[in-house]
Amino acid sequence: MMDGPDFDARLGAAIREARLDAGYTQEEIARALRVTPATIARYELGIRHLSVGTLLQIAAALEMPLSRLVPGAEQLERTATLTLAESPLQQAVQTLVRVLEEHPDLMPKVLETVQTALSDERRYTDAAMSTEGRSLNEREGNDAYTSNAHVIAVANLKGGVGKTTTVLNLAGFAGRMGKRVLAIDTDPQGSLSRSALPDDAPGVSLSDAFSRRARSLDGVRVPSRFPGVDLVPSTLALEAVLQTAIPWEGREYVLLDMLTPHLEEYDLVLIDCRPGVDLSVTNALTAARWLLVPVECSFLALDGYEHVHALQRRLNQRINPDLELLGLLPTRYRSGTAHGQAALEEIEQQVAAAQPPLRFAPIRMAIAAADAPAQGMTLAQFAPNSPIGQEYHAVTDQIIVFLEGRA
C-alpha cells in the first residue's frame, strides 16, 4: 500500500512541482487556503497529512485538475483514509474502496477502473477549459454577443487598500451622473453589501445564484441604497458554495454566465473582490474586461499589486486574454509625509512601467471615507464637495470618459 510518510512525501513533492510550474509562491497558495505559508511548506515536505478537501482547494488555487496532483493508483489506495468531496468521481472511488475492502482480489480490476475514471475526469476538464484563450466574443460565437467592455474588477491581493471604498464611491458618483450601475460583491465578508444593501432588501445573495450555476442574475440583484445603482450582495454562505464548486467543470465562468444577459442594461459594472486568490477572484477576473487595482500609499505598497498582476497574466494565457490593467489607483495618501511621498513615487514608477491606459491622482486618507458608509451613503451623497469626494468624482469621470470613448 502506498500509505504513510512515503506517500505524503511523494504527494508533497507533486504539489511543489505543480506550484512551481504554475508560477505560484507558497505565500499565494497560503492566502488562497487561509493558512500560513509554513503550513504549505509542511504539506510540500510531506510532514503534514492532506485531506482530499485540502487537495481540492490546492488544485483550485493552482487552477488544475486534482488528477494532476494525485496519480490514479495512489489516489485509490489513499482514499480509504481520506474524507472525500461529494463529486461524482469521488463518490465512485468511495464505492470502489468499499468493494476492495470486501474483495481484495479485485485490486487489479479496481485499479483499471479508477484509471479510466481519472482519464475521463481529465477529458472532461479539457473540454470544459477548451474555451480558454478565446475572447468572450469568440466563446459566444453569435450575433447576440454583448461586450463586457464596461466591466471592471476592483482587486488587490492585499487587504485594507480601499477596494470596497473605491467600488462604493465609483458607483455612487457614476449613479449621480445618471449612469446605470451594477455593483457585484464577490467577497464572502460582504463589506460592500453591508454598506449598500437596504435594510428592507430581500434575503438573496450571489451564493444563491452561484450554487445553482444560474444563467442570469435575476432574483439576486436588488436596488441599492444609492440612486442609479443595483447590487448583487454577498454573504458568508458564498464561502461554502465556493468550496463545493471546486470540482465543477467550467467553474471559472459561473459569474460570467450569470452576468452576460444583463450587460446591455448597465453603463458600468463594478466587481468588488476579496483579498487573496480563490475561485471568487478568478470568476471576477474572468468576467471583467478591465482590472483596477487600488494601491495603498504605504510600506510595501506594491506587494499586493505584484501578486494580482501575476494572476492577471496567468488568466490572460489560460482563460481571459482580453483582461487588461485599467490603472493603479493610489489610496490612503498622506500628503506632506516623507513616507507617503516615497510610496507614491514607487507606485508612479510602476505605472510608468506598466503603461495602463489611465493614470490617477492619489486619493487622500480622510475620515469622510469611513463616515459615509457608516451613514449608509457614498461620498457622492455624504460629502461630494469634500477634497476626497472631489478626488473620487474625478476618478469616476476619467473612467466613464475612457469607457465611452471606446464604445
Instruction: Give me the average pLDDT of each 10-residue run along the chain (407 residues).
Output: 58 83 83 77 74 71 70 40 39 51 59 50 40 41 58 92 96 97 95 93 90 92 96 92 87 93 95 91 94 88 77 86 94 87 88 93 93 92 95 97 90
| pTM metric for this prediction | 0.67
Least Cα distance to 394 among 242, 124, 130, 173 occurs for 173
Residue 101: exposure state from Cβ atoms within 10 A (0-12, 13-18, ≥19): exposed
Question: CATH 3.40.50.300 residue ranges in the chain?
Answer: 147-406
Q: Which pLDDT score, from 0 to 100, does residue 190 have? A: 92
Q: Which pLDDT score, from 0 to 100, does residue 340 have? A: 84
Let me know: does 343 contact 301? Beta carbons within 8 Å: yes
Let me know: does 312 contact 341? Beta carbons within 8 Å: no
Return the bridge partners of 229, or none. Answer: 181
Tell me, which fold does domain 5-128 have in CATH?
A: 434 Repressor (Amino-terminal Domain) (1.10.260)
Contacts of 359 (CB under 8 A, 6+ apart): 327, 351
Q: Where are the alpha helices (DSSP H) in 277-322?
A: 279-287, 303-318
Q: Which pLDDT score, from 0 to 100, does residue 70 have? A: 64
Residue 149: exposure state from Cβ atoms within 10 A (0-12, 13-18, ≥19): middle
Q: Quick one: CA torsion of 264, 251, 232, 363, rounded to 10 degrees? A: -90
Least Cα distance to 193 among 157, 238, 153 occurs for 238
Question: CATH 1.10.260.40 residue ranges in the chain?
Answer: 5-128
Q: Which pLDDT score, from 0 to 100, does residue 113 have? A: 52
* Grid cell in block for residue 32: 488562497
3.40.50.300, 3.20.20.70, 2.40.10.410, 3.40.50.1100: which CATH number matches 147-406?
Answer: 3.40.50.300
Residue 312: exposure state from Cβ atoms within 10 A (0-12, 13-18, ≥19): buried
